[in-house]
Structure 1
């Protein structure tokens, strides 16, 4: 399978914008450089029209609209009657059925989406949430124990592998009941789904097959676990979910496999990336680190919101217009794709003072790091905030002064990722 657009591309209904944000080379630039282009788009009236991002799957897309302003991303997100998710949420062209297997109810619309969201939410009982938080606190402590031990050897280590990549996967594994022997396999598969455009994970020719293989690993793990929990209940989220019922509907094993894909990828990589970016920012800004430590319990809540805004781990999602409509004075035809660029919305000068500065003391921080609101607002926000709060407590109160090496960034149109970041004792 090779990188492709259609052999005979559909005729675009209008000229493409002069700024080519679909070029893979554009996504190889750093976040700040990319936002120079997004800032230009934010400054122009209406939405801009762009060529499809080159894809590994055959497609017939003619292009997409780019929503780059905070207000426009919120508007599209909050109007499910005008913009649907069931035609796909990936900005990259990809068959809708594959997206549904990868994203489960993210690629559904109400009322179907509402039913599945209720089913999943029903598993997060107060008892389960308390248990999850205790597991997060224990895991955070153990991860920093191990990190300190590695640092005191005097060697340079990788912060992503040794710390930020550890807690989310342990949390997902503990929540849902993944066997410890399977955790690394599941973590790698989840990482691959978010990182498919990076050559390190698969060559250009292998990407489609690689994505489908890792998708199968995750879904298969979920189906197998669901079947085991139906026969042998445990005190975990999967057991709650196999027994959950809403309006007479229960989740099938195949649906629970799709949920495993969503939880394993969205619940793992996003928090990992937020942790890595935020840790780097705090090391780069020791005065903010000191301010946070001076009253950690009362200040960490606001700090976490800036961690998420600053990192914006998910760069973009997409919607499709259900009917002919209008956004910011731009006429949108039914069926046309709109890319919601959270990475641009979270740097919108009209909303954020000094948007390119990391500042955990912000009084107002209406970031869109968990989505733009509406039916698809991130279901895992509470658990993500919990992980960040407890891990940074351990890191900031126990870690000595450290020095960071140059991060190695992920090449992706979907994830603002750091693959590796060297750390050593100062």
Structure 2
């Protein structure tokens, strides 16, 4: 395909996360594409290609049940024949003589399939688009990739902000900006707002791969809800951009097609040339 074009999301960005997840968990190769599709449907349910004329709740239920079935099958197999993978460790772990119930295992699997797949893919896609739109930053990174990729990854996560919003429940009465939030009330957090806050970032509208410190909330704001897979995501981003920019230094992203929705900052497809 040298010199030609290809859908970057389909042929590159989506491949690394699902392969990594599958190897960690032990998903059979024959099931990987379907697992990735089901995970995508859970976060991009408003995309017409998943709805196909159906109600959103039906799409959500169908794909969640499929992931539960995969989890149940994997759990049964790993209990009988444990392997050297995360799922074997999970289903056979004991605390005070107790093991996780099947429902807990299924919930954990859905979390891994969604959080460990789509967010990294979106950051990869947005990252290539950003490096295309800011060629000076790309050149700066390539001039000393090994020592500069660390800050670059943090800035690409800030720039992409793959999760745009999330809801929490107030654990106590709290006043924020003159607004009283009462215990039990729901609060929606806008991560994109935080990552483009002019009080926290100098010129947030600019991609600055050398930005340091970079107090972005792309992995959460710390505490118990901080992303468990942050270190893995960073490693994946370092690896994929290291390979891409070394092997295809002239790669360019075209105009992306976005997925409608207010949860994940998702790119459905994006052409690239090299």
* Structure 1 gap ranges (5+): 1-150
SS at match of 1:319: strand
Residue 352 of structure 1, aligned match among 171, 184, 201: 201
**Which blocks of at least 5 consecutive residues in structure 2 are unaligned?**
none
Distance 1:323 1:381 in 2: 28
Between the aligned partners of 1:385 and 1:367, the Cα distance in structure 2 is: 14
Between the two proteins, the alignment pairs up a number of residues equal to 274
Confirm whether residue 329 of structure 1 aligns to residue 178 of structure 2: yes
1:164-183 paired onto structure 2 within 5 Å: 164-183=13-32
1:401 CA drift (Å) = 1.6
Instruction: Note the C-alpha offset of 1:320.
Output: 1.6
TM-score, reference length from structure 1 = 0.62
Aligned partners of 1:273 and 1:311 also within 8 Å: yes
Question: Is 2:189 the partner of 1:340?
Answer: yes
- Give the Cα separation in 2 of the matches to 1:422 and 1:324: 48
Secondary structure of the structure 2 residue equivalent to 1:339 = strand
Q: Which residue of 1 aligns with 2:125?
A: 276
The answer to whether structure 1 residue 395 and structure 2 residue 247 are counterparts is no
Paired residue secondary structure (2:49)? coil
Q: Say which is worse superposed, 177-186 or 215-224, in terms of deviation.
A: 215-224
Q: Which residue of 2 aligns with 1:301?
A: 150
For residues 190 and 404 of structure 1, what CA distance do their matches in structure 2 show?
25
Given the alignment, which residue of 80, 94, 103 partners 1:231? 80
Local SS of the residue matching 2:20: helix
- CA deviation profile, 1:172-211 (whole Å, cap 9, x unmatched): 0000000000000000000000101222321575210010
Q: Secondary structure at the match of 2:65?
A: helix
What per-residue deviation string (whole Å, max 9, x for no partner) do you get for residues 263-311 of structure 1?
0011000000000001111122222112112221211111100010000
Pair member with larger Rg: 1
| In structure 2, distance between residues paired with 1:247 and 1:311 | 42
Aligned position for 1:115: none
Deviation at residue 246 of structure 1 after TM alignment: 3.2
Could you tell me which residue of structure 1 aligns to residue 37 of structure 2? 188
TM-score (norm 2): 0.96
Give the superposition deviation at 1:247.
Answer: 4.4
Q: CA deviation at 1:233?
A: 1.1
Q: CA deviation at 1:323?
A: 3.6
Q: 1:253: Cα distance to partner? A: 2.3
Q: Which runs of 4+ in 1 moved over 6 A?
A: none
Structure 1 CA distance, aligned partners of 2:249 and 2:156? 21
Write the distance in 1 (CA, Å) between the matches of 2:223 and 2:98.
23
- Would you say 1:423 and 2:272 are equivalent positions? yes
Q: CA deviation at 1:400?
A: 4.3
Distance in 2 (alpha carbons) for counterparts of 1:206 and 1:363: 45
Please state how far the C-alpha of 1:325 moved relative to its aligned partner: 2.8
Partner Cα distance (1:296, 1:247) in 2? 47
Quote the Cα distance in structure 1 between the aligned partners of 2:202 and 2:98.
47
Q: Counterparts of 1:281 and 1:383 in 2: how far apart (Å)?
A: 21
Alignment of 1:13-412 (within 5 A): 151-152=1-2, 154-202=3-51, 205-412=54-261
Q: Answer whether contact 1:242 1:250 (CA < 8 A) is retained.
A: yes
For residues 171 and 141 of structure 2, the distance between their equivalents in structure 1, rounded to whole angstroms, comes to 46
Query: Residues 167 and 186 of structure 2 are in contact (CA less than 8 Å); yes or no, is this contact kept in structure 1?
Result: yes
Cα deviations across residues 13-47 of structure 1 (Å, max 9, x unaligned)? xxxxxxxxxxxxxxxxxxxxxxxxxxxxxxxxxxx
